[in-house]
Amino acid sequence: MELGYARVSTVKQDLDRQIDALGQTGIAAERIYVDKKSGSTVDRPGLRAVLEYARDGDVIVVHTLDRLGRTVRDTLNLIHDLSERNIGVRNLADPIKVDSSNPDDPMAQLSVVLLALFGQMERTYTLERAAHARAVATAKGRRVGRPSVVDPDKLAYAEHLRTLGHTMAEIVAKTGITRTSLYRHLPPRPPESVTAGPEPAADPGPET
């Protein structure tokens, strides 16, 4: 059986175009599940209902794949989970046609592979953008991450213990500050010499 799923992001948007396209494929209106929810919203009753209703051999049809998930990776994970239940996914209007219900069709399987590739690219670009944003913020002197909640007196005591040569485990035990917070707030130890010779002079940097 083919089951339809349609979604728009807000209640002000219209589902008619998607429902009409799904209906033209022969899917009855009572088998088209709908949501007026953002793709980033986990609680989507229509999607939950179609996933619960679908049985072995069924195919979930969508107008475009972005109706299923917020990202390519979300959609790919859902396709994979459904394939474990022998439930297929087919799209109607995307440039790349996906039909995971037909494992014998090499082009259909190639589409799923391409989708996986795009999902990996999407994840890589997201991580690179986040890393770049952190580096820029750090270079400008802005602290990245959640605001510090470390007691300043405890932190000063931790710095004192660090100066005296205590290990990180000992500092954690004496101050109660977590190891992660200590690594975030304490300056790194100066590098130890790896030779018996004198310490090398600090690099003055490029001449200006």
Residue 181 annotated in active site: no
pLDDT digits (tens, 9 = 90+) for 113-122: 666 556 566 6
Contacts (Cβ under 8 Å, ≥6 apart) of 2: 25, 26, 27, 31, 58, 59, 60, 61, 90
Burial of 172 (0-12, 13-18, 19+ CB in 10 A): middle
Q: 122 or 49: which carries more pLDDT confidence?
A: 49
State residue 207's pLDDT score. Answer: 47
Q: How confident is the model at residue 41 (pLDDT cuts 50, 70, 90)?
A: low
Residue 4 has pLDDT above 80, yes or no: yes
Q: Evaluate if residue 180 carries a pLDDT over 70.
A: yes
What's the pLDDT band for 10 if we cut at 50, 70, 90? confident
Global model pTM greater than 0.75: no
Q: What is the mean predicted confidence (pLDDT) over 177-201?
A: 67
Question: In the chain, what percentage of residues exceed pLDDT 70?
Answer: 72
Average pLDDT over residues 51-72: 88
**Measured distance CA(76)–CA(113) in Å, rounded:** 10
**Strand, helix or coil for residue 60:** strand
The one catalytic residue among 9, 38, 40, 193: 9
In the predicted model, is pLDDT for residue 82 greater than 70? Answer: yes
